[in-house]
Chain A
Amino acid sequence: DVKVTQSSRYLVKRTGEKVFLECVQDMDHENMFWYRQDPGLGLRLIYFSYDVKMKEKGDIPEGYSVSREKKERFSLILESASTNQTSMYLCASSFPGQKNIQYFGAGTRLSVL
């Protein structure tokens, strides 16, 4: 079974803190994705990566950066957390190609106070 693991289920941070959200997958997938999910707005793509050290902006990259130093790990970084970044963050991975299933992690619920 594909496993996508997000390091934290719940996280509480202060405004201005630097926040790291970690995601690891064990299926040797080339593609990895970060989404955020908000009531009334659904899931929105923040960043994605199709290979090590490669990254592409999604629909809402402002205020975020990413790091992909190893194939299995994709990190989402909030350089200076703000209250409007309080959200559910979901990581996903897939094989290359747009026809393939994305597998999701359990999510990290981040609260920025």
Chain B
Amino acid sequence: KQEVTQIPAALSVPEGENLVLNCSFTDSAIYNLQWFRQDPGKGLTSLLLIQSSQREQTSGRLNASLDKSSGRSTLYIAASQPGDSATYLCAVSGKLIFGQGTTLQVKP
């Protein structure tokens, strides 16, 4: 059974820092991996999707990598801003299996 783990559960950084969020999964037979952002009390917004054949995807200050063989993905956020404060979730598919998320706080 696929299990997805995100470490750390919470992270607090000063504005301007570069940071890395981690996601690991137990079964490497995935179709893709998605990173989502969730603001408090809101739904999920898709940030990046990496197909199983890809190694990374970039969108603005965000870069997501995928290493299927080791069952890991990272989300790199460059030059963090207070507006980046949210919970970040990774999910792997077939059927989407979610990690529990990392709650990020960027302090001004």
Chain A interface (Cβ < 8 Å from any Cβ of B): 4, 6, 33, 40-43, 45, 48, 58, 90, 92, 98-99, 101-107, 109
Contact = CB atoms under 8 A, between A and B. Distances in A.
Contacts of B94: 98
A109 B51 CA distance: 32
Contacts of B49: 101
16 contacts: A33-B96, A42-B98, A43-B96, A45-B96, A98-B31, A98-B95, A99-B31, A99-B32, A101-B46, A101-B49, A102-B34, A102-B46, A102-B96, A104-B36, A106-B43, A107-B43
A33 B94 CA distance: 13
A40 B100 contact: yes
Interface of chain B, main secondary structure: strand
Contact of A42 (B41, B43, B93, B101): B101
Contact of A104 (B44, B95, B101): B44
Interface of chain A, main secondary structure: strand
A45 B49 CA distance: 19
Contacts of B98: 42-43
B89 A43 contact: yes
B42 A107 contact: yes
Nearest to B93: A98
A106 B94 CA distance: 23
Given A99-B51, A104-B45, A109-B41, A45 B95 contact: yes
Contacts of A58: 95
A48 B93 CA distance: 14
A48 B42 CA distance: 21
Contacts of B31: 98-99
A112 to B, nearest CB: 18
A90 B44 contact: yes
